[in-house]
Amino acid sequence: MSMYRQLWLSILASALLALLASLFASLYNARDYLEAQLAMKNRDNATALALALSRADTDADDVVVAATALFNSGQYELVRITDPTGKVLADKVSRDSDAGAPDWFVKLLPIRSLPGEAQISSGWTPLGSVILMSRGQFAYKSLWRTAVTMAGAVFLAGLLGGILVSLVLRRIRQPMQEVIDQARAITQHRYITIPEPQVPELRQLAAAMNETVARLREQFEDDAQRYEGLRREANFDPLTGLANRTFFLASLDHALEAEDSLFGALAIIRIPHLDLINREQGRETADDLLHRIGRAIGELTPYCVGAYAGRLTGADFGLLLPQGCDTAAIMDELMARLVETVEPIADRNAEIDIGYGAFMRGEKPTRLLARVDAAVAWAQSAGGNKVCQAAADSDPDLPASAGEWRSAIRYALHQTNAIKLVHHAIRVGSDPAPHRECPLRIRVRDDGEWLPASRFLALAERLGLVQELDLAVLALALDELDNDTGAGGLWVNLSARSIADPEFLRQMMKLLEQHPDSRQRLWLEVPETGGLRRLVALRDLARDLKPLGCHLGLEHYGHHFNQIGLLYDLGLDFLKVDPGFIQGIDSNPGNQAFLTGLCEIAHRIGIQVYAEGVETEAELAKLAEIGFDGVTGVAVREV
């Protein structure tokens, strides 16, 4: 029973008990009064009858007639007359069973009155005595009417009291619920503040909790700024603001190896005469030019969301582009922006050479860099300020057009033997039960190869089919958990676009409700970039999944660490750190300091931290030392 109901019932019960006690006290007082009145009436009536019979000519027959007439009036329960020797001359006793009130009431409040007695005489000669007892029916009727009236008053007072108590409790219920919701949100890793209620006690409690949350947030923000500085110092070029060579190449390795990578093309931008500009115009001018170039490259996001840039060498810049972008158009736009940036500063030394090429998962980084670098060399030999596309390795067996890809993906969705989950081990703390990452694979024909998500996911998003793929992944994972009760958990990816689709969410919740015994071992991952762009949808999804026991987190985390303050009220369960920060962590003090801070901040608000792409035992040891809750990658094997 809720506290509000207990409080309401206790107040109402106390009021009713007080009213009932008052009712019974009043009834007992009324009964005593009626008993006293009946006794007086009996005495008066007996005296009056005795006086009426005290005549000299009165005989026994007259006495009997008078007693009978008096009894027949119906107002007496007993009329008895005796002579001086004690012989009964007349004895009339009422046999009427009507007490004037219900039997239980008569038993509960019996009215007892003393009979009236008087002497009959003739002069100084005693003739006998008369004993009278009035009927109690009239007294019971009066007492019963009083009880009914007062019970109605008690009921009405109780009803009005209940309404009043409800109004008072309603006044405090909303602020109390807000305080409860705040406490519940904190347990769900959402640190929110609430307006301070008017109720003094609740206002003090809310103020204390708000102060705690504010202090935690302030400390959180201070730590975040400090560790963001460490992250940028370790992974970004201070002059251009782009990723440094080590971090960019680590991201390129992950893009070529990851099952769910969305990148599909690499571009290299070269400023061939940077050394001449440095010698002729000075280092400050060259540095200013590099800064402007870095800003121009970094501002490509409006043209292709998700593009990722880095500085490879002094004069070379790298650019990773997601699948689905119009790469040729973007390169032309980039060339125009760079020419506009370089010409006013470099004058006759203004030249930009760009080479780009598509890639597929599994291609070696050295081969890809060589192909694109050859395209840059061709652009330079063609006179400069040119864009050249590298020869691409293509698979003639794969669909070529958007229409063919649509048909191929729908084929996979409707054929049970054309879609599956593959397993990669995850080490989750000290949990002995096996945890597995489950990326999706499809094939576009019966005898075709199994394609990783990196080959079709971007196209599926562009074609509006990613929601159907995500639902298929959930169904496969839940069925597998039903069949494998020993599995600790299956980790599956969800598209950020899917979690913002109401129809997808409706079908997803329906699917989860059908698997109550398995959903608590389901771990759902949303890409950091897409998830943070859809904060409201991510927050709502986290709140909906909490009662079901599902786990929700962000994968490929770390590139937007400056927005870590947004995690306060999302209610996430875990973060999976991008492999770019993990690669070579055992020999990278800068990233060690950054990831130590990330774990400290995340753990402080109840979020677990996992590492992606762990390749060596040295990395495993260092991550355990830093404080990671789990790892995944080629260095992890399922026991």
- In tens, the pLDDT along 359-401 reads 887 788 888 898 898 888 888 877 778 899 887 655 556 776 7
Q: Grade residue 23 by pLDDT with cuts at 50, 70 and 90.
A: confident
Give CA–CA dist 576/527, Å, rounded: 9
Give CA–CA dist 487/364, Å, rounded: 34
Same fold, 3-160 and 245-389: no
How do the domains of the chain map onto residue ranges?
3-160, 245-389, 402-572
Residue 100 is which amino acid?
G
Q: Which of the two residues, 396 and 527, has the higher pLDDT score?
A: 527
Three-state DSSP class for residue 87: coil
Among 371-380, 398-407, 589-598, whose mean pLDDT is lowest? 398-407
pLDDT of residue 420: 92
Give me the percent of the chain exceeding a pLDDT of 70. 91
Among 218-227, 485-494, 565-574, whose mean pLDDT is lowest? 218-227
Residue 69 region, left (φ>0) first, then alpha (ψ -120 to 50), else beta? alpha
Q: Grade residue 553 by pLDDT with cuts at 50, 70 and 90.
A: very high
Mean pLDDT of 429-441: 88
Query: Would you say domain 402-572 falls under CATH 3.50.50.60?
Result: no
pLDDT of residue 506: 95
Among 35-39, 58-62, 106-110, 617-621, whose mean pLDDT is lowest? 58-62
pLDDT of residue 521 exceeding 90, the answer is yes
Q: What CATH architecture is 3-160?
A: 2-Layer Sandwich (3.30)
Q: Grade residue 98 by pLDDT with cuts at 50, 70 and 90.
A: low
Give CA–CA dist 437/284, Å, rounded: 49
pLDDT of residue 502 exceeding 90, the answer is yes
Give CA–CA dist 544/550, Å, rounded: 9
Dump pLDDT digits (tens) for 533-543.
888 999 999 99
Give CA–CA dist 359/378, Å, rounded: 19
pTM: 0.68
In the DSSP assignment, the letter for residue 407 is H
143-155 CB burial, b ≥16 within 10 A, e <16: bbebbeebeeebe
Three-state DSSP class for residue 546: helix
Return the closest-CA partner of residue 497 out of 538, 547, 448, 456.
538
Give CA–CA dist 580/253, Å, rounded: 8
Most confident of 55-59, 79-83, 627-631: 627-631
Q: Grade residue 34 by pLDDT with cuts at 50, 70 and 90.
A: confident
Q: What residues contact residue 608 under an 8 Å CB cut-off, 6+ apart?
A: 553, 573, 574, 575, 602, 629, 630
Residue with the two structure tokens 């995850």: 426
Give CA–CA dist 372/124, Å, rounded: 149
pLDDT of residue 386: 87
Dump pLDDT digits (tens) for 119-156.
877 666 777 788 887 776 777 777 788 888 888 887 78
245-389: CATH topology is Alpha-Beta Plaits (3.30.70)
Rounded to the nearest integer, the mean pLDDT of the chain is: 83
What is the pairing mode between strands 522-527 and 551-557? parallel
pLDDT of residue 227: 84
Dump pLDDT digits (tens) for 259-268.
777 788 999 9
For 6-107, strand residue ranges (E) read: 76-82, 88-93
Give CA–CA dist 106/99, Å, rounded: 8
In the chain, the N- to C-terminal Cα span, in Å, equals 47
pLDDT of residue 188: 66
Q: Grade residue 463 by pLDDT with cuts at 50, 70 and 90.
A: confident
pLDDT of residue 610 exceeding 90, the answer is yes
pLDDT of residue 528 exceeding 70, the answer is yes
pLDDT of residue 481 exceeding 90, the answer is yes
Q: Grade residue 638 by pLDDT with cuts at 50, 70 and 90.
A: low
